[in-house]
Every structure is written in C-alpha cells, then in structure tokens.
Structure 1
Amino acid sequence: MSDNLSLKAFVVLLKASKSIEELIKKDISSHGMKSSDFAVIEAVYSKGKQTIRQISEAVLINTGSITYVIDKLENNGLVERINCKEDRRVVYIQITDKGKELMDEIFPKHQQVIESLFEGISAEEKEIVINVLKKVGKKGETIR
C-alpha cells in the first residue's frame, strides 16, 4: 500500500510542479522577460551582488548558459559586472538602478501570483509541505 502512495505522491508532485511552472512562466512573460532572465535578476535583486557561480547555484542554471543570460541583462542595463579588487578571477554581478526600478515594479505582482497559489492553505500546511519536500529532495540526493 505504501508503494502505491509513494507513486501517487510522485505523480501528484510532478503534475503540481508542471502546473506551477507554466503559471510562473506565463506571469514572467507578461512582464516581457524569460524565466532565466527573471531568475538571475531576482537573485541579485533579493541577495545583492553575487558571483556568477553563486547565481548559477541559486537559480539552477549551468554556468555556460548563465553567462549568456547575464550578457543580455547587462546589454539591457539591468545588471552590471564588477571586478573583485582582491581576486582578479572573481567577477560580481550587481543589479543596476534601472534593474532595481524594474524589479520594484514587477516583483510585488509576481509575489502576488505566488501568494494566490497558496490561498486557503494554512501556515501549518505550508510548513508541512516545506518540510516534506525538503525530505524528499534530500533523499533524492542520497539515492543518486
């Protein structure tokens, strides 16, 4: 019986993930951005300047692809590269004033879309979802 529940939980998780991903892509594209662009600019908007590696790990985009995304964002004046004074090999990515203005406008709207996904779900239920998904994710890392 638990095997059937595990399979059912897996299928429900995948379907929910796909549904949420489609909603988020639609929301982000309504602001004239691609998901990868939004993920990168949101990372530096929320956390401040970061290295390309830090951003890559945070947004789950490989470093080869992320350079292309950062180049586009930089060409649009939304982020800028800053060389590290202590280590010439390190380059930081920082949001520009133009990028901050854009995110100040669109991020609250994006956050509201996410909030609407969880309407009617109690704080306790959200905590349960968070904890269960963390356990599943950690288990997945050990099985590899």
Structure 2
Amino acid sequence: MNGKKVITLKPESTLEEKKEDLSLRLFVVLSKAYQAIMEQIEQDIQSKGLNLTDFAVLELLYHRGEQPLQKIGQKILLTSGSITYVINKLEKKEYLYRQPCPNDRRVTYAVIAEKGKNLLDRIFPEHWGRIDELMSVLNEEEKATAIDLLKRLGTSIRKL
C-alpha cells in the first residue's frame, strides 16, 4: 500500500474508528460553520458596496496603518497579481494611495486615504455588530472556550 490509512465501515466500530469518525465530523462541522459565517459576512460587506477582498485590504490599512504592498498579499492570502489589481481598483476609487518607501525604492506602501477612512468609520461599527449578532448564539464563556480550542487546533496543525 501507499502508507495511507484506509477506513472500512463495519457494523460495530472500534474505539479508533470512533475517534476517526469524530475527527471527520469535527472537520465537517467546522467547515460548514465557516462557510455559513462567511456567506453572511460576504452579504454584509456587499451590502456596503465592497467585495471581501476590497474590504480586507481597507480593513487591514484602517486598523494597522500603511502596509508594504508585498506584505498585504501575505496578510490576507492573495497573490501579488491579485493584490496589484485590488490596489489599483481601490486607488481609482480614491480609498487608498501608494506611497514609495523613502529608504528602499523597491518598496511601495499602500496607505488608506481620507475617503477610505471615512468609509470604514461609517461601515465598520455596523459590520462589527453583524459579526457580534452572528456569534450571539454562544455566551461569553463558550466564545472564550471556542477561541482557546480553535487556537490550539490551528497551532498544532501549523507545527506539522
């Protein structure tokens, strides 16, 4: 065989198979929850006249300040070609502008413009409220527990 584990279904599951069933179930539940949340978030952002990528770039600049173009793609998981397209589009709408680095001519920063800041000042509180509404099914203790568990899961996976 190729070294991969093959799972066969039997009428009576062993303890190991039950653990694998729970792992698979957790994966499916996490995936579906993420998809449901993102569908709602995307609708919210689109209702404000932006798409997810445009919002992600503006939100990054709004909360973290100017960013090198090369780093934006890494932070919001986009290719350099996609970032260039998004930055061009947002610059054309006057939501941000490019600023050359004074110390390194190879580096260009994206800086949120006043128009972009005003837009985020207006829409971000409502967006934050929508996220809070979506998460309101969990109480504060459950949210803290979920954060801890998901951090632990993510951290262990990154170490693989």
TM-score after normalising by structure 2: 0.84
Gaps of 5+ in 1: none
1:64, CA displacement in angstroms?
Answer: 1.6
Gaps of 5+ in 2: 1-17
Q: Which residue of 1 aligns with 2:29?
A: 12
Equivalent position amino acid for 2:142 in 1: E
The aligned length equals 143
Q: How does 1:26-65 map to 2 (within 5 A)?
A: 26-65=43-82
**Larger displacement relative to structure 2 (84-93 or 130-139):** 130-139
**Larger displacement relative to structure 2 (88-97 or 131-140):** 131-140
Q: Are residue 115 (structure 1) and residue 136 (structure 2) matched? A: no
Give per-residue Cα distances to partners, 1:55-106, cap 9 Å, x unaligned.
2122111222111001000010000101010111111111000000111001
Q: Which residue of 1 aligns with 2:41?
A: 24
- Structure (1/2) with the larger helix percentage: 1
Q: Which residue of 2 aligns with 1:79?
A: 96
Equivalent position amino acid for 1:74 in 2: E
1:4, CA displacement in angstroms?
Answer: 1.6
Cα RMSD for the two superposed structures: 1.3
Q: Are residue 124 (structure 1) and residue 127 (structure 2) matched? A: no
Give per-residue Cα distances to partners, 1:18-70, cap 9 Å, x unaligned.
10111011001001111110100110001110111222122111222111001
Q: Secondary structure at the match of 1:61?
A: coil
Structure 1 segments (4+ residues) deviating >3 Å: none
Mapped partners of 1:62, 1:137: distance in 2: 22
TM-score after normalising by structure 1: 0.93
Q: Secondary structure at the match of 2:48?
A: coil
1:124, CA displacement in angstroms?
Answer: 2.3
Equivalent position amino acid for 2:50 in 1: M
Q: Secondary structure at the match of 1:104?
A: helix
